[in-house]
């Protein structure tokens, strides 16, 4: 199995690095200021004023993230794809019907498990993880995906299921 | 000065270890506090060190530097996670107890030790299960994996592991009940101890910050433990009778509610300790404030509702918990960033901060919490989770805040005790180099995971995708750097311990440390005081009896006959019978004549009762056990009456724990019966 960076994941990593650098800067600045002798009244006077802005900024940042997330939920709702693919996980295999999919069609993966919990992770022909859904005994999870690229995709198990968990792989083809 | 805080008996460390103005905020140093600090902190750190070595071994296997079979890898993975959880939990339970005891003398030393014993016994069972029994279903023991061993372990190993984790939950539950009982009795009930009375102007001083933290954490801890106990008992029932069917989604919800909440609460236990330790080095008191009191109320709400982000990729999970979790997971960051960490930074800014080994570790712990928390918030957004779920991003962020946050605070706690006992700070060389190596190694270690997560490498894989071994190798090198720093720290701890022992010998002819009742078995004059009754007014008693009467309609033939239709309804009827018994007991124990005789002497018996009886009831709710007597009307009725009696006994037990702890544990017990009815369907 091959993996590679996807643009989405790299963007997320970059955003996290920006946050980390900002936080490290704050901690370094506070540490450098810690040995000075400043009256606590002065610290709180400025600190409480700045805290309002900090509170507003965080509410805006986190609130925007949550609202934005609502527009890109992977849940299918009542929508179903133009093609249905039944996927079943078992110790330690995937079965899939049909096992070839035409490119560009929105596929509804109906995912379940015959035994324990598994996790279906789908990697595109470039090795980029394009989505995942859990495979649970007694339940059908529906994952709608449009597979644009042609080539060999990989299904991997993303929920620990036993001693051959890392071998639970299956390839499938998306054809023109 | 913090209410009830006492100066160090020696007073010698102030000039060298603490900030000149920090001494006045020092928690007491009496025998029970020191013992709890050493026992919990020492055990926790020993587990941390052992499990860190296991973790390094796992990374080296993934780097293909050493060869271990996948079977052994997954066994070690299971052990590493369960051991780290227990170690961090123990440490921070001890850390909070240490600082709360100064202002809440009613905390019981004996019950703290009992909780330690339960957790240590649980860890021993986990070790036996994994190392001898070969159990490798992961620390979350997600149903039905423990019973689908593929020939890798036998049923006894699964049962041993589940009982072991159950004992960890029992130990935490005992601790939570006793701390909640003590803080709420000392600070005017739940609203007093959470600072709500102070917010409303009905309490002029309000509780110290560590009391708010302790009350909030233990309140949630009781609920979390009850949920954990329910899934543990359901799994044991499945072991007794394989026909007992558990709903997989229900089991997942309970497992992650327990696992997520207890892991989160470890951080918030630590916060209570940090409230007291940081002022010692800043010379400024961490005072109660309105944002802090309000922040804790929101934190309770957010921590209790965020767990569903573990089930984002379970598309059949109802939408409401998913949306609540989406909001709660992000919102939980606001009290942390705006109140706790921000206030800590204000305390430190311009304070002529006293940088010692302890304070350096405390400070770096804040950074680990903030950076790891940011990684967690990013992953809690559903579209991002869709592409990062169960990749290495997940261990990256939780190692970031547990290893580089809580882990450093665990070390800070022991460093604080040692520097205080030795009367000198750690050497300058160690104070600089040990944290520096651990930060360089720790962040290198977790960032190799963040990058691997973005690359899409799955977590919990013994063998990583071809061509990615280099990431594991780099991570292993950084882990070794972390361990070098940790070993340097341990060497300094040994040096400090030697100094402390010499100092103790030198002062052995001098005044002895003050002792507190309960540490050495002497009589506590408070034992004859009546426990706070669960119901204070005749109206409350009447309402409770009325509720029991309403529930007793479930005993009437039309309803009881209908309840025999399915196992779920039958178990619901058991819940009703348990409810009736518990309500009648509470009403009886609250009547003035009886309430006077329910004294604190009964607390131990009451605590044992509320822990064992509800769990025992669930253990016997196996159709294979009770179906035999279902055919005989008298035996059948006796069985249901027995469930009512179990509720009655639990109600009596809860009545010895004071109003807040008693009601919390009783409602949780009833909740256990209802949750069980909702998910256990077969048999």
- On whether the CB atoms of residues A3 and A123 are closer than 8 A, the answer is yes
| pLDDT at B32 (0 to 100) | 87
CB atoms within 10 A of CB B546: 12
Long-range pairs, A65-71, Cβ under 8 A, ≥24: A65/B330, A65/B377, A65/B381, A66/B326, A66/B327, A66/B330, A66/B381, A68/B381, A69/B326, A69/B381, A69/B382, A69/B383, A69/B384, A70/B326
CB-facing half-sphere around the CA of B595: CA atoms within 13 A: 17
The CA distances from residue B451 to A12, A33, B52, B181, B578, in Å, are: 10, 32, 21, 45, 52
Using 50, 70 and 90 to split pLDDT, how confident is the model at B20? confident
Mean of per-residue pLDDT scores for chain A? 96
- B396 in the same domain as B489: yes
Mean pLDDT on B138-160 = 93
- B477 in the same domain as B421: yes
Is B150 in the A-facing interface, judged by CB distances under 8 Å?
Answer: yes
CB-facing half-sphere around the CA of A99: CA atoms within 13 A: 10
For the record, the structure tokens of B288 come out as: 């109660």
For chain B, the domain total comes to 2
Using 50, 70 and 90 to split pLDDT, how confident is the model at B683? low
- Tens of pLDDT along A78-134? 777 788 999 999 999 999 999 899 999 889 999 999 999 999 999 999 999 999 999
Using 50, 70 and 90 to split pLDDT, how confident is the model at B554? confident
CB-facing half-sphere around the CA of B87: CA atoms within 13 A: 25
- What whole-number distance in Å separates Cα of residue B246 and Cα of residue B244? 7
| pLDDT at B609 (0 to 100) | 96
- How many helices (H) and strands (E) would you count in chain A? 2, 9
- On whether the CB atoms of residues B103 and B140 are closer than 8 A, the answer is no
| pLDDT at B522 (0 to 100) | 39
Asked if the Cβ–Cβ distance from B350 to A33 is below 8 Å, we say yes
Cβ-count burial B336-373 (b if 16+ within 10 Å, e if not): bbbbbbbbbbbbbbbbebbbbbbbbbbbbbbbbbbbbb
Q: In angstroms, how far is CA A20 from the centroid of its own chain? A: 20
Indicate the range of B9-13, B379-383, B442-446 predicted with least confidence.
Answer: B9-13
| pLDDT at B526 (0 to 100) | 52
Please report, in angstroms and rounded to a whole number, the separation of the first and last CA atoms in chain A.
23
Evaluate the omega torsion of the peptide bond into residue B393 and state whether it is cis, within 30 degrees of 0: no
Residues of chain B in contact with residue A118, where contact means CB-CB under 8 angstroms, are none
Is B17 in the A-facing interface, judged by CB distances under 8 Å?
Answer: no
CB atoms within 10 A of CB B66: 12
- Kindly give the residue spans of alpha helices, DSSP state H, lying in B332-468: 333-334, 341-348, 357-379, 382-388, 393-401, 407-422, 428-454
- On whether the CB atoms of residues A155 and A31 are closer than 8 A, the answer is no
With respect to residue B177, please indicate whether it lies within any of the assigned structural domains.
no
- B490 in the same domain as B437: yes
For the record, the structure tokens of A101 come out as: 């999919």
Indicate the range of B107-116, B511-520, B570-579, B600-609 predicted with least confidence.
Answer: B511-520
- How many helices (H) and strands (E) would you count in chain B? 26, 0
Q: What is the side-by-side strand order in the sheet with A169-175? A: A100-102, A169-175, A151-157, A118-123, A129-135
- What whole-number distance in Å separates Cα of residue B613 and Cα of residue B607? 10
How many percent of chain A have pLDDT more than 70? Answer: 100
Mean pLDDT on B199-205 = 95
Mean pLDDT on B213-237 = 97
| pLDDT at B21 (0 to 100) | 86
Q: In angstroms, how far is CA B293 from the centroid of its own chain? A: 21
Of B70, B374, B454, the CB nearest to A20: B374
- What whole-number distance in Å separates Cα of residue B322 and Cα of residue B603? 40
In a 10 Å sphere around its CB, with 0-12 CB exposed, 13-18 middle and 19+ buried, how is residue B224 labelled?
buried
- pLDDT of B26 > 90? The answer is no
Asked if the Cβ–Cβ distance from A69 to B350 is below 8 Å, we say no
| pLDDT at B520 (0 to 100) | 41
- B567 in the same domain as B464: no
- Tens of pLDDT along B99-137? 999 999 999 999 999 999 999 999 999 999 999 999 999
- On whether the CB atoms of residues A75 and A99 are closer than 8 A, the answer is no
- B557 in the same domain as B467: no
What is the per-residue DSSP string for B301-365?
Answer: HHHHH-GGGGGTT-TTS-HHHHHHHHHHHHHTHHIIIIIIHHHHHHHHTTB-----HHHHHHHHH
Mean pLDDT on A12-26 = 98
CA distance A176 to chain B (A): 25
With respect to residue B135, please indicate whether it lies within any of the assigned structural domains.
no
- Tens of pLDDT along B396-406? 999 999 999 99
With respect to residue B632, please indicate whether it lies within any of the assigned structural domains.
yes
- Tens of pLDDT along B394-447? 999 999 999 999 999 999 999 999 999 999 999 999 999 999 999 999 999 999
Asked if the Cβ–Cβ distance from A34 to B383 is below 8 Å, we say no
In a 10 Å sphere around its CB, with 0-12 CB exposed, 13-18 middle and 19+ buried, how is residue A67 labelled?
exposed
- pLDDT of B283 > 50? The answer is yes
Q: In angstroms, how far is CA B585 from the centroid of its own chain? A: 29
- What whole-number distance in Å separates Cα of residue B95 and Cα of residue B42? 11
CA distance B351 to chain A (A): 6
CA distance B370 to chain A (A): 7
- Kindly give the residue spans of alpha helices, DSSP state H, lying in chain A: 7-33, 40-71
Mean pLDDT on B478-500 = 98
CA distance A64 to chain B (A): 10
Mean pLDDT on B457-484 = 97
Instruction: Tell me the whole-structure pTM to 2 decimals.
Output: 0.94
| pLDDT at B11 (0 to 100) | 40
Q: Which residues does residue A88 pair with via DSSP β-bridges, in sequence order?
A: A95, A112
* Residue of chain B whose Cα is closest to the Cα of A122: B387
Task: Report B:433-462 residues touching A (Cβ under 8 A).
Answer: 450-451, 453-462
Mean of per-residue pLDDT scores for chain B? 91
Higher pLDDT, B14 or B363: B363
Q: Best mutation site among B313, B334, B452 for testing chain A: the one with the most A CBs within 10 Å?
A: B313
Among candidates B666, B664, B676, B682, which has minimal Cα distance to B573? B676
- B442 in the same domain as B398: yes
Among candidates B568, B571, B542, which has minimal Cα distance to B639? B571
| pLDDT at B30 (0 to 100) | 80
- B545 in the same domain as B658: yes
Residues of chain B in contact with residue A26, where contact means CB-CB under 8 angstroms, are 345
Mean pLDDT on B375-383 = 97
With respect to residue B459, please indicate whether it lies within any of the assigned structural domains.
yes
- pLDDT of B510 > 60? The answer is no
- What whole-number distance in Å separates Cα of residue B46 and Cα of residue B127? 14
- What whole-number distance in Å separates Cα of residue B514 and Cα of residue A136? 58
- What whole-number distance in Å separates Cα of residue B29 and Cα of residue B406? 23
With respect to residue B2, please indicate whether it lies within any of the assigned structural domains.
no
Among candidates B159, B175, B157, which has minimal Cα distance to B118? B175
The three-class DSSP label of residue A145 is: strand
With respect to residue B10, please indicate whether it lies within any of the assigned structural domains.
no
- B405 in the same domain as B368: yes
Domain C-terminal end among B506, B541, B572 = B506
- B550 in the same domain as B407: no
- B534 in the same domain as B502: no
Domain C-terminal end among B447, B477, B506 = B506
- On whether the CB atoms of residues B671 and B572 are closer than 8 A, the answer is no
Going by C-beta distance under 8 Å and a sequence separation of 6 or more, which residues neighbour residue B538?
none
The three-class DSSP label of residue B480 is: helix
Evaluate the omega torsion of the peptide bond into residue B144 and state whether it is cis, within 30 degrees of 0: yes
Q: Which helix (H) or strand (E) holds A83?
A: strand A83-90
Using 50, 70 and 90 to split pLDDT, how confident is the model at B598? confident
> Residue B64 region, left (φ>0) first, then alpha (ψ -120 to 50), else beta?
left
- pLDDT of B515 > 50? The answer is no
Using 50, 70 and 90 to split pLDDT, how confident is the model at B6? very low
- B374 in the same domain as B418: yes
Indicate the range of A39-53, B107-121, B587-601 predicted with least confidence.
Answer: B587-601
With respect to residue B20, please indicate whether it lies within any of the assigned structural domains.
no
With respect to residue B435, please indicate whether it lies within any of the assigned structural domains.
yes
- On whether the CB atoms of residues A123 and A130 are closer than 8 A, the answer is yes
- Tens of pLDDT along A149-175? 999 999 999 999 999 999 999 999 999
Domain C-terminal end among B451, B475, B506 = B506
Asked if the Cβ–Cβ distance from A5 to B455 is below 8 Å, we say yes
Containing structural domain, residue B544: 527-679
- B591 in the same domain as B561: yes
């Amino acid at each position: 199995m091959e993996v590679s960076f996807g643009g989405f994941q790299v963007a997320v990593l970059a955003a996290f690095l920006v946050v980390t650098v900002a936080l490290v800067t704050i901690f370094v600045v506070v540490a450098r200021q810690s040995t000075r002798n400043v009256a606590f009244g002065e610290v709180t006077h400025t600190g409480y004023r700045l805290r309002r802005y900090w509170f507003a900024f965080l509410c805006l940042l986190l609130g925007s993230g949550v609202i934005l997330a609502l527009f890109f939920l992977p849940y299918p709702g009542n929508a179903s794809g133009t093609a249905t693919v039944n996927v079943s996980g078992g110790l330690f295999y995937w079965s899939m019907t049909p096992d070839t999919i035409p490119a560009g069609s929105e596929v509804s993966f109906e995912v379940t498990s015959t035994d324990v919990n598994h996790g279906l992770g789908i990697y595109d022909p470039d090795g980029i993880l394009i989505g995942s859904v859990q495979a649970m005994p007694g339940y059908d999870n529906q994952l709608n995906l449009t597979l644009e690229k042609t080539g060999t995709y990989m299904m991997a198990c993303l929920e620990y299921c036993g001693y051959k968990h890392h071998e639970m792989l299956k390839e499938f083809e998306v054809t023109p | 000065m913090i209410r009830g805080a006492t100066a160090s008996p020696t007073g010698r460390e102030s000039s060298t270890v603490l900030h000149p103005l920090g001494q006045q905020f020092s928690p007491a140093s009496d025998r029970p506090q020191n013992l709890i600090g050493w026992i919990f902190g020492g055990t926790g750190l020993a587990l941390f060190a052992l499990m860190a070595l296991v973790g390094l071994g796992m990374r080296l296997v993934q780097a293909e530097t050493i060869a271990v079979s996948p079977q052994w890898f997954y066994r070690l993975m299971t052990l590493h996670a369960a051991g780290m959880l227990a170690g961090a939990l123990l440490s921070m339970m001890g850390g909070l107890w240490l600082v709360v005891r100064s202002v809440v003398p009613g905390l019981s030393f004996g019950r703290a030790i009992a909780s330690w014993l339960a957790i240590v016994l649980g860890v021993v069972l986990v070790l036996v299960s994994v190392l001898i029994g070969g159990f490798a279903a992961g620390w979350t023991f997600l149903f039905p994996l423990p019973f689908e061993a593929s020939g890798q372990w036998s049923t006894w190993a699964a049962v041993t592991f589940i009982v072991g984790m159950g004992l960890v939950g029992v130990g935490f539950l005992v601790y939570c009940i006793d701390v909640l009982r003590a803080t709420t009795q000392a600070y005017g009930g739940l609203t007093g101890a959470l600072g709500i009375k102070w917010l409303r102007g009905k309490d002029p001083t309000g509780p110290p910050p560590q009391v708010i933290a302790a009350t909030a954490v233990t309140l949630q801890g009781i609920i979390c433990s009850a949920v954990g106990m329910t899934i543990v008992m359901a799994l044991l029932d499945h072991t007794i009778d394989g026909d007992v069917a558990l709903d997989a989604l229900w089991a997942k919800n309970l497992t992650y509610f327990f696992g997520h909440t207890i892991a989160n609460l470890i951080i918030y236990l630590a916060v209570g300790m940090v409230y007291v330790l940081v002022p010692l080095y800043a010379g400024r008191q961490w005072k109660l404030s309105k944002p802090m009191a309000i922040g804790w109320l929101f934190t309770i709400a957010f921590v209790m509702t965020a767990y569903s982000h573990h089930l984002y990729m379970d598309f059949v999970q109802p939408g409401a918990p998913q949306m609540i979790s989406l909001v709660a997971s992000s919102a939980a960051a606001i009290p942390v960033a705006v109140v706790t960490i921000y206030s800590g930074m204000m305390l430190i800014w311009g304070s002529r901060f006293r940088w010692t080994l302890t304070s350096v570790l405390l400070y770096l712990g804040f950074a680990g919490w903030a950076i790891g928390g940011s990684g967690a918030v990013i992953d809690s957004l559903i579209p991002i989770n869709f592409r990062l779920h169960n990749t290495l991003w997940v261990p990256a962020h939780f190692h970031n805040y547990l290893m580089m946050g809580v882990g450093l605070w665990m070390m800070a706690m022991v460093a604080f005790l040692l520097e205080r006992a030795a009367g000198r700070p750690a050497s300058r060389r160690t104070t600089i180099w040990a944290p520096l190596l651990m930060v360089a190694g720790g962040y290198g270690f977790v960032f190799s995971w963040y990058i691997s997560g973005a690359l899409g490498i799955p977590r919990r894989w013994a063998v990583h995708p071809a061509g990615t071994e280099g990431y594991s190798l780099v991570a292993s090198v950084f882990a070794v750097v972390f361990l070098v720093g940790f070993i340097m720290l341990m060497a300094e701890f040994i040096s400090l311990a030697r100094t402390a022992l010499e100092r103790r010998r030198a002062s052995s002819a001098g005044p002895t440390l003050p002792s507190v009742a309960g540490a050495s078995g002497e009589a506590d004059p408070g034992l004859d005081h009546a426990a706070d009754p669960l119901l204070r007014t005749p109206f409350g008693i009447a309402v409770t009896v009325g509720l029991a009467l309403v529930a007793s309609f479930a005993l009437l033939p039309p309803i009881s006959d209908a309840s025999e239709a399915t196992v779920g309804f039958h178990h619901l009827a058991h819940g009703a019978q348990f409810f009736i018994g518990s309500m009648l007991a509470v009403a009886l124990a609250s009547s003035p004549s009886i309430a006077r005789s329910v004294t604190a002497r009964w607390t131990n018996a009451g605590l044992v009762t509320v822990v064992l009886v509800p769990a025992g009831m669930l253990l016997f709710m196996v159709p294979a056990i009770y179906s035999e007597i279902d055919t005989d009307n008298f035996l059948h009725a006796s069985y249901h009456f027995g469930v009512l009696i179990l509720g009655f006994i639990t109600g009596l037990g809860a009545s010895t724990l004071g109003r807040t702890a008693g009601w919390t544990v009783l409602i949780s017990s009833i909740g256990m019966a209802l949750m069980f009815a909702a998910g256990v369907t077969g048999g």
